[in-house]
Structure 1
Amino acid sequence: MEGQQSPEGTPGRVERVRLRSAAAALTSLMAFAATSLVAGPAVASTTGGPCALPRTHAHHSLGLDTWNGAYTRPATRLDAVMIFLKFPDSEPLYSPEELAADHFPATSDFFRQASYGKFALRSHPLNEWMQMPKPSVAYAIKRDWEPERRAAYLRDAVAAADARVDFSAYDIVYLVADPDAPGVDSDATKVVNFDRPLRADDTDIRRVVTVFERHPPDRNVLAHETGHVFDLPDLYHRPGDGNGDWDTHVGDWDVMGSQFGLAPDLFAWHKWKLGWLSRSEVLCVTAEPGGDLVTLEPVAAAPVRGGSIGTRLAVVRTGPNAALAIEARGATGNDAYTCTEGVLLYRVEGETASGGGPVKVVDTHPETEACWEESVYPPLADAPLGVGETFTMPGPPGGRARVEVAERTQTGAWTVKITTA
């Protein structure tokens, strides 16, 4: 347990007002800069192909020719335990059942829809408070947490729950603190990775999710943190001084960028990495005369009739560790509240670490913005191409791509012509 720990979390907390069709919500963001974890062993992947970037030593590399065996893969079903922690200096205002309901079934629903029903995250809340041995203020909980204080907190939390929890029965551990204890800082919500795992019930605990969220919590915050458990990177940009906009890389378009995004479903590239898309659902674009014509189903849409997922991603390889990804986004599923629909382009860099911009959305309408009252980053809210629009990506020979949106089908898919040169 004395091993070094590295935290990673959600984007920096910024106060905003979001207008939804149902209600207005005052929201805030938080984040932690991710630090690298030693790369794990390679595990054979079934998602490879000529457009699958190689996995590198970058933290949460988006290369997907192999799986990083240091992380749990959300292939079919995983079980998560929620442990609720109280402190001697505060009496909780809410019950464990109320706090569990803040996150589930919403988080399970998010991943069920994102995976097209292939993956189930099952929550097992321990519906009682576990007593921590020290007052909350003794742990000095904060966003940039001192490693020694963080280590003490984690050691005490596992010890407090060990008599009631069989850690060997669970794949994921959520440590949920009393949100109203005086020493609890909601900005400290994050995943903690261990260079040397904790040991309990003859089981190695390689990472835990520490939850300090207020009640009610930030929207989709646990989906973001759980994404890190599955080796997904932070996609936001953290300004050097902590001020400024955090959402310049991907805007609203993936929960790993902002849990408040209007279209928070995972990028198709992430779904490919996690195994939710197979090679048959990914088109690798080649330099064919006349270009490639593809019908892209919206990333967030449920499988089409007959259970087929359909093509969700087109990829143009632009370098040894780089690619241009092309997918459709529509107002359905996890993206039901998107303010624009169309064909989204983004660059993927396999050698860029979490938090450094491994994904950057291409703004195909750089002179305009959209949804300024709702979007986390209006300049990218209108990034997708619409019917009849064409965009040419500059690049070296073999890396240039021209994307033309020909039509939208009656079923909501998008017909796209992609030409490389």
Structure 2
Amino acid sequence: MTSFLQLPAELWLQVFSFLSWKDKLRVRCTCSHFKHLLDKSRLLWDGFSVVLQDFSRYNHSFWRSLAQRQVGRVLVRSGKKKHLAQISSWLPDLSALRLDDWKGGAINELKRFHQLQQLSLTSCSTPLTNLDFLFSLRHNLTQLSLCNVHLTCPAPHLLGAISQLTSLTSLLLHHDGNLKVPALNGVLTHLTKLKHLSWTMITYKILPQDFFRPTHLAGRGGALHLCDLQLLNYDAVVTQEVLQPLSHLQSLSMFHLYSVPGPTCHLQTWLTSLPQLHSLTVYGGHPLAAYVDFLPSTLLSLTLCVDLEPEDLQVVSLRAPHLQHLHLEPWSSSSSLVRLLPQLFPHLTMLRIRHHNVPDSDFLQLQNLQQLDVLEILDSYYRPNPLDPSLVVNKPSPHLLQLIVDFQKMTNHRVKVLTSSHRDLLTCHCV
């Protein structure tokens, strides 16, 4: 072991750069020499995120190690006001922060984080009476997410606070329908740099003509710079004229989480109004057959978590012949769909599917996707005891692991197979 420790630090750091976050933490615990090397090399921890909860467990040594790594992304669960003060004293240059299930009442302590660029508040039942703390963050904040937050301030106050954040490129606001915002044009007028918008639509029945048209585009034929739009619980009547400011939109996502859409499929109007659409995500709502004939030929990425039949996929392949990314979670049985994919979508480079109820022979047929780079299996769990269906093991079954081995041999390990997804620390669970 002594001879290994005599190797140059630069060589060890190069080796450590190939490790995952978990492996780095494991190596750090093996000896004081590796602990010193890892903690002193900030580049090795670039992008590292940490989840903090039960703050009584953290001692001075713990905080010092985070400070040495210059941790820039933190998720705080069930935190309080004093915890924010503690974090800011050790990590003053924090760039991304998420507060989940906040317990501390007012969060004016956020003004301590002068370098904060991304802020997310999720599942906070403690009422937020105002958002004045945003004023001190307005210069650097580029991403703001408010999901399932108990807002007691009126809508004009909320919109006024958000409108000050003129550097925002991403805005997410998910609520239970208690927020009454007549249109989004007021927000879009001030947030001219906005690229990503995620909004709850449960309160809208008919979208007015100027719903998406900010003041600086009033009476003109110009389009917004918005390129990614996510709408939750959408079922509003819309016209192509209303959607004209979104003509440059590249990604559209419709999530029907808590509502059942009415008899009219308004998604048809959206799809015929977005000539540059490259990515489409639909979760719930009408069956695919209701809008499959309106899919634009520009689509490169498609996510479908809806009712669909094999013949619907055949239409998709005709409407979107250049599809590269496909995420398929049919609400009906998928056993007869997987075998069709190599023939219908030969250009796929990324595929996300569920494997339960799919015959092994159909799964292995995916080797015929000659351009496939990544295959993600979304249901990597199993029930080891048939007599106890409540017992679920949340990891790949031995059978699935062997199936993956067989698949990789058949593809000469060309395809990377994933059995677990890694969500961004700051994202909510709605989308």
Shorter-normalised TM range: under 0.3
Relative contact order (C-alpha < 8 Å, sep 6+): which is higher?
1
Greater percentage in strand: 1
- Higher CA-based Rg: 2
What is the TM-score when the length of structure 1 is the normalising length?
0.23
